[in-house]
Amino acid sequence: MRQHVYFSPGMFGFGRLGSYNYFAHVERELGARFSAAGHELVPHVIEDLPTASVRRRATRLAELVGQTATDDAPIHLLGHSTGGLDARLVASPASTAISATITWLPRLRTVTTMNTPHFGTPLASFFTTSNGQRILAALSVLTVAGLSLGSTPLAATSVILGFLRGEGTILPFKLLDRSVESMVGMIDDARSPEVRTFLTAIQDDQGSMLQLSPEAMDLVVAGFEDRPGVRYQSTVSMAPSPKPRRWLETLGHPTRAVSLSMFFGLQRITADHDERYPCAAMRGTAPWSTEANEARLAEALTETPLEANDGVVPTRSQVWGSLVWAGLADHLDVLGHFRDDRDPDTVAPELRHCDWLTSGSEFDRSRFSGLMDAIATGMIDA
């Protein structure tokens, strides 16, 4: 049976730029599992507005599904980070401005959210500041450069680290702008125009950053509804704070050392939550059992303090619907963007895992396989 799966990117993310597919590893692994179960996965990657409002992004997602899912095959939506909110808004019966005109909703089987800030993230509040807006643009371009080139530009990460430490003076601002330009220049000419368009979109519209603050998501949660008959499943991760051993491992590897420091800066900002807006479900307010999901978190992670996060999204903010997988991983690990110690010369380019955000989570191919098993099983069973 043919089944359509739509992949929606989120914070720092993109769909395809040139020949690089942000969801390449997830798409390949899910496709193999669908095939083994006797199904054909038809993948669609959303070319989204990177940081536009959730409503604008959801509208684009709904339009793409309507244009491409022209048969009668089942439909699945998978969103990473902010992309999970896009999927939920499209499916929500309360969203009459979008869903009232959608004819394919009866074929929607699952909504999968990966590391999605359902209850907001303090990092979004930081990104709405004047310094944060430029950091967001730089981090997004750094993601493109790091993943497509297979390495992290050291100068750029050093400058971003200075901002995360609160050293953003006039000089670092100039250095940051130059670093962004140098990163764009490092990417081949065929891709550079698309990267510049991507960067311009981030600078022109950062509506979702305003909406992802914990205070704003407090209202969004009250306005979203789950669609009856659709399976909602989520994957959740946390990255432990870097331990002394992890820092020692970066000796002789300046790029890893700076990347680890940058991750630590992001993690600290994300951990700074307000007790009134804890970025977590309140008891009795969710349509699914909070206690059951807490038990799954405890089983998978043993220790999940309130400030636990994946470097971008608080861990408990990621829980929605049925929690099908939880583990140690950072925000990009779960997409297959993790450190792979295999010799690059022995691995086909499309199978290589590139990690630019060093977190020390020790996420690997085995854990990634388990994560993909859990997502695929939920989709196929539905």
Whole-number percent of the chain with pLDDT over 90: 40
Residues in the chain: 382
- CA atoms lying within 13 Å on the CB side of residue 151: 10
Phi, psi angle pair for 104, to nearest 5°: -90, -5
What whole-number distance in Å separates Cα of residue 246 and Cα of residue 380?
Answer: 39
Domains of the chain: 2-121+215-246+279-381 (3.40.50)
Secondary structure element (H or E) that encloses residue 17, with its range: strand 16-17
pLDDT, mean of residues 1-30 = 85
Q: Give the pLDDT confidence score for residue 159 in this predicted structure.
A: 59
What whole-number distance in Å separates Cα of residue 137 and Cα of residue 166?
Answer: 17
Phi, psi angle pair for 94, to nearest 5°: -75, -15
Q: 30, exposed or middle or buried, with CB in 10 Å at 0-12, 13-18, 19+?
A: buried
- CA atoms lying within 13 Å on the CB side of residue 210: 8
Q: What are the CA-CA distances from residue 132 to residues 17, 205, 344 (Å)?
A: 24, 14, 35
Residue 169 pLDDT level (bands cut at 50, 70, 90): very low
Secondary structure element (H or E) that encloses residue 237, with its range: strand 231-238
**pLDDT tens per residue across span 180-239:** 555 555 555 545 667 667 777 776 667 778 889 999 998 888 788 899 999 999 999 999
**pLDDT tens per residue across span 233-276:** 999 999 987 665 655 565 555 566 777 777 888 898 899 878 88
What whole-number distance in Å separates Cα of residue 198 and Cα of residue 352?
Answer: 24
Q: What are the CA-CA distances from residue 92 to residues 96, 134, 337 (Å)?
A: 8, 33, 30
What whole-number distance in Å separates Cα of residue 84 and Cα of residue 234?
Answer: 9
**pLDDT tens per residue across span 143-152:** 776 666 565 5
**pLDDT tens per residue across span 85-129:** 999 999 998 776 676 668 899 999 999 999 999 999 999 888 887
Residues 6+ apart with CB under 8 A from 327: 237, 300, 301, 363, 367, 370, 371
**pLDDT tens per residue across span 134-143:** 777 777 777 7
What whole-number distance in Å separates Cα of residue 375 and Cα of residue 114?
Answer: 10
